[in-house]
Amino acid sequence: MVYESLLTLLVSLTCGLLLGMALNKVMFLVIVKLLNGTVQFGFDFSFSAVVSTILLFTFIFFVNYLNALRVVHLASPVELLHRSHYGQKEPKSKWLMTLIGIVCLGIGYYISLTTTNPLGAFGMFCIAVLLVMLGTYLLFTAGSITLLQFLKHRKKYYYQTSHFISISGLLYRMKQNAAGLSNICILSTMVLVILSTTCSLWFGIEDSLYRRYPSEFVLTMNDDELTDARLAVVDDILAGEHLSVDKTTYHYLAFTGMLDGSHFATDRSEFSMNQISRIYNLFLVDLKDYNAAMGTNAYLADNEILLYCNRGHYGPDTLDISDYHFIVKEKLDHFIDNGNAAADIATTLFIVVPDQSIIDALYTYQLTAYGENASQIQLYEGFDTQLDDEANLALYDKLTAALGDSEGDIVESRTQSRQSYISLYGGLLFIGIFLSVLFIMATIIIIYYKQITEGMEDRDHYIIMQKVGMDQSMVKKAIHSQILTVFFLPLVVALIHLLFAFPIIKGLLLLFSFSNTTLYLQCALICFVIFALAYTGIYALTSKTYYHIVKMN
């Protein structure tokens, strides 16, 4: 046993280190390509990393060796020789574990379906994941046995040739393979969730950029006595570049508070993590600026407002802020914002009020509540150019140099921010691919060894079933159908998990300024089809080992 363990360790370390160093270079080239970086030729070798790897795996093999010694020491030689001839006990129904599994899975699905606010999505997602993982394990290990036992006790259904063979066989297969199948299901779900989200973020970079930056250039500055002078500087720079642009300009006030029904409050004592889904942003614009920016001719009475909610739906027909009781005259389906709402994790209510005096009064209201953390009334100016990327970057540098030193003045450019988006989403895609490869490798290993154990057991089952009068074709058909059911059940359940996870994943993607639901669904569908084909290919390749073992008899 000592020599066997040492030989296995030596072969594993040699092959693993060589493949690891080769794949390290491949993965480095992948991430450089994703980030539009420059490829550097050469091969890096880290001696400390190799030593750490050798020590870690030596320790793991040593622990396995000690465990093998323990098993051999405690087991009886006679028992080891005759264990394969012992009959298997029929598994019993486990109703309590099945019920707990159903409850855990149901709560996990419910959390996903009812979590709509991105602020609470991440924390609830972690809870839902743990519940679904526990529910999946319990339903595979206990629920499958309980269901099969239930079908077995239905005499009319059970005592049919095809049902009798399949249910009897599946009872013992699920008893032995349930834990492994639940692991395959969880790993498959992880692959689908990670790949679908990271791929949709990567392919939706331009969509996210245009949501975050509605115009090529976005200028934000405090609305004070120097505003006109700063705008004149911008006009001079554009004139110097011989640019004629259409500008979108308006004044606004944006601040955060708690929304309780139709009442908006700024009481900090109510701000807590368990109330996080009630945190909203208010974005106030007066009617004059709204009509100019949107090209409309809307009219509002003194207590009327126009309202647009950038995520979800605002239900009430009124809104109370401070001493104001507003009536929602119309709920808009679009508004030209400054892009900050797309990047903010809180939902934003865009409010069009009749005149500037209301905004001034609400500025004083939130100044009293928040003090030095209060928001300022600001001016937004956005415009597009017909310049190429290099010229846009040069113009961005000039605008930043002219305005960047003033407190509260922010100059943003879609072109300038594109590389940071590529770096962020490219890094996420790389991590997604890397983790997916690891999970797929784990899935392959589990499936491969399951095929070996299934083959060894079914080799004897073939003989027994033929002795009781079943012909070879019927035996092969029965066992093959059981194998297909066992190995493809995790894939079907993984798809169900992915479908129920969609609402909460949609909320998480909003944290990255991504709201293109159609693109996500397309990426999820393509990822599932590719993974299903790969899963089928893995099954087909490993099944050769299974049939080779079975045919040995």
Q: Which one has a higher pLDDT value, 451 or 387?
A: 387
Contact 242, 385 (CB under 8 A): no
Q: Kindly report, residue by residue over 196-233, the tens digit of the pLDDT.
A: 999 999 999 998 888 888 889 999 888 877 788 888 98
- Report, as an integer, the average pLDDT of 342-346: 78
Q: What span, in angstroms and rounded, lies between the C-alpha atoms of 190 and 129?
A: 10
Q: Kindly report, residue by residue over 69-110, the tens digit of the pLDDT.
A: 887 777 666 665 655 555 556 566 678 888 999 999 999 999
**What is the rounded radius of gyration, in angstroms, for the C-alpha atoms of the chain?**
32
Query: CB-hemisphere CA count at 13 Å for 453?
Result: 13
Q: Which one has a higher pLDDT value, 499 or 347?
A: 499
Encoding tokens for residue 488? 């493809």
pLDDT on residue 142: 83
Q: Kindly report, residue by residue over 239-284, the tens digit of the pLDDT.
A: 888 888 888 889 999 998 888 888 988 876 655 555 677 888 999 9
Q: Which residues pair with 285 in a beta bridge?
A: 352
Q: In the predicted model, is pLDDT for residue 417 greater than 60?
A: yes
Q: What span, in angstroms and rounded, lies between the C-alpha atoms of 436 and 68?
A: 32
Q: Closest by alpha carbon to 147, among 156, 79, 138?
A: 138
Q: What span, in angstroms and rounded, lies between the C-alpha atoms of 50 and 42?
A: 18
The confidence band for 67, taking pLDDT boundaries of 50, 70 and 90, is confident
Q: In the predicted model, is pLDDT for residue 470 greater than 70?
A: no
Contact 267, 320 (CB under 8 A): no
Q: Which one has a higher pLDDT value, 347 or 484?
A: 347
Q: In the predicted model, is pLDDT for residue 441 greater than 70?
A: yes
Share of residues in the chain with pLDDT > 90 (%): 26
pLDDT on residue 300: 92
The confidence band for 1, taking pLDDT boundaries of 50, 70 and 90, is low
Q: What span, in angstroms and rounded, lies between the C-alpha atoms of 374 and 158?
A: 71
Q: Which residues pair with 348 in a beta bridge?
A: 281
> Terminal CA-to-CA distance of the chain, rounded, Å?
29
Q: What span, in angstroms and rounded, lies between the C-alpha atoms of 497 and 193?
A: 9
Q: In the predicted model, is pLDDT for residue 185 greater than 70?
A: yes
Average pLDDT over the chain reads 82
Q: Which one has a higher pLDDT value, 39 or 82?
A: 39
Q: Kindly report, residue by residue over 393-412, the tens digit of the pLDDT.
A: 999 999 888 886 667 788 89
Contact 535, 188 (CB under 8 A): yes
Give the pTM: 0.79
pLDDT on residue 330: 92
